[in-house]
């Protein structure tokens, strides 16, 4: 399993880019999974639903399954510095894991950066960001640069730059 990340400030186009990357990887014959970091609390459970009731009763983890889909809801909190490694261990083996967010983690990433962003590009201060996807006219960087519509080129880059998960996060 190889890992590669997409980082960037809020509303920079990360999710749309991740969608396109996964679709292109799958079209190339690869299997792919994703992990998305949410900076805010989120709830996939709804009050009154059976899974919600199970959690309210004290279940640490609840799995909801149907014929074609299943999901695990976990109330376990991991230490901030081990969250991604623990989540990676929950995934079934695939060719590529695309991580959205987790910008402070050590896996290689490309940054999404939009014209009008009031913050400096992350690539200027983060060595794990090895490329940038942007819509700027004049941006100078020693790292790889792409426009948002250059999906083939971005995925070619990911194929070359992604690293094996166990080299960074999981025990060998």
How does DSSP classify residue 95?
A: S
Please, are residues 163 and 108 in contact by the beta-carbon 8 Å criterion?
yes
Please, are residues 171 and 165 in contact by the beta-carbon 8 Å criterion?
no
What's the CA gap between 110 and 108, in Å, rounded?
A: 7
What's the CA gap between 54 and 60, in Å, rounded?
A: 9
| Mean pLDDT (whole number) for 36-53 | 80
Residue 81, pLDDT score: 57
Q: What is the pLDDT of residues 90-99, one digit of tens each?
A: 899 999 999 9
- The closest of 131, 150, 147, 149 to 7, measured between CA atoms, is 131
DSSP, collapsed to helix, strand or coil, labels residue 22 as helix
Residue 72, pLDDT score: 86
Query: Does 39 score more than 90 pLDDT?
Result: no
Is 104 or 7 the better-scoring residue by pLDDT?
7
Residue 74, pLDDT score: 83
pLDDT exceeding 90 applies to what percent of the chain? 62
Query: Does 33 score more than 60 pLDDT?
Result: yes
Q: What is the pLDDT of residues 124-166, one digit of tens each?
A: 999 999 999 999 988 888 899 999 999 999 999 999 999 999 9
> Model's pTM, two decimal places?
0.88
Please, are residues 100 and 6 in contact by the beta-carbon 8 Å criterion?
yes
CATH topology of domain 2-40+77-168: Rossmann fold (3.40.50)
Residue 172, pLDDT score: 40
Q: What is the pLDDT of residues 52-85, one digit of tens each?
A: 899 889 888 898 999 999 888 887 776 665 688 8
| Mean pLDDT (whole number) for 163-172 | 79
- The closest of 123, 102, 119 to 111, measured between CA atoms, is 123
Query: How do the domains of the chain map onto residue ranges?
Result: 2-40+77-168
Q: What is the DSSP string of 11-45?
A: TSSHHHHHHHHHHHHHHTT--EEEEE--SS---SS
Please give the radius of gyration of the chain, using alpha carbons only, rounded to the nearest integer. Answer: 18
């Amino acid at each position: 399993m190889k890992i590669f990340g997409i980082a960037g400030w809020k509303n920079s186009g990360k999710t749309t880019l991740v969608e396109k990357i996964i679709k292109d990887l799958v079209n190339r014959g690869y299997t792919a999974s994703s992990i998305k970091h949410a900076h805010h609390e989120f709830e996939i459970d709804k009050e009154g639903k059976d899974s919600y009731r199970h959690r309210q009763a004290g279940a640490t983890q609840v799995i909801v399954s149907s014929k074609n889909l299943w999901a695990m809801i976990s109330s376990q909190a991991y230490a901030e510095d081990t969250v991604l490694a623990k989540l990676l261990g929950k995934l079934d083996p695939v060719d590529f894991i695309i991580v959205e967010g987790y910008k402070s983690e050590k896996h290689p990433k490309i940054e999404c950066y939009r014209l009008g962003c009031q913050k400096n590009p992350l690539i200027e201060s983060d060595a794990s960001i090895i490329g940038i996807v942007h819509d700027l006219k004049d941006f100078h960087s020693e790292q790889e640069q792409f426009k948002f519509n250059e999906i083939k080129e971005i995925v070619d880059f990911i194929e070359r730059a992604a690293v094996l998960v166990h080299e960074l996060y999981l025990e060998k």
